[in-house]
A = this chain, B = another copy of it.
């Protein structure tokens, strides 16, 4: 297993694309893994594939449609009683522990491909009610994966303590601000680049960008 070979959990959005450039700047070999689980926009997978191809990186797309089997709707269809989440801030279609499921598969893939470093763009600063974005979860997940496979993976989270403005600054540091601005997909409406400008994802992303560009001037 090679610590200098990094596998990036990659969605084609701003955060994971920034992580990709971080990996390319810091590791000898970089591969990407995208989880296809019936995303809001199938366009997300297409965008991820295009970026991987443009950057000449090996890209693993894993079918995770089974995530749908854990949604309350799917469980209801099978005649089950769903215990409503106690925390009302978490929506009803919430599939719990998505990052745990993704990182379990990413580390297992890393085992098979010899990648000793797993990179994910999770971020505690923008933590929006998902406990598996927290640093303490990532550290515990890292230990669990290492014990599960008797290996010494390092799960790296370059964005953990950054806000959106700082993430744009990092993109700029790698000379990739324009690329990330124009080629990635964050928008809930599926509009690449600066997006629809109205959805919560666009607002957060664009506010960070404006703040960074203002500061830079």
Interface residues of A (CB under 8 A from B): 1, 58, 60, 62-66, 69-72, 75, 78, 80-83, 95-97, 99-101, 104-105, 107-109, 111-114, 131-132, 134, 136-137, 140-141, 143-145, 147-150
Chain B residue at minimum C-beta to C-beta distance from A138: B147
Q: Of residues A72, A95, A147, which shows the largest number of chain B Cβ atoms within 10 Å of its Cβ?
A: A147
* B100:A148 contact, CB within 8 angstroms: yes
Query: Are B149's CB and A112's CB within 8 A?
Result: no
- The complex is assembled from copies of this chain, and their number is 2
A99 touches B69 (CB 8 A): no
Please give the distance in Å from A93's CB to the nearest CB on chain B.
Answer: 11
A1-B83, A80-B58 known; A132 and B148 CB under 8 Å? yes
* Closest residue of B by beta carbon distance from A74: B112
Q: Is the CB of A137 within 8 A of B131?
A: no
Chain B residues lying within 8 Å of A109, measured Cβ to Cβ, are: 70
Find A75's partner among B95, B107, B112 (CB 8 Å cutoff). B112
Give bound CA distance, A83 to B148, whole Å.
18
Known interface pairs A63-B66, A66-B62, A66-B64; A145-B97 also in contact (CB < 8 Å): yes
On chain B, the residues within 8 Å of A111 by CB distance are 96-97
- Which residues of B have CB within 8 Å of A71? 112
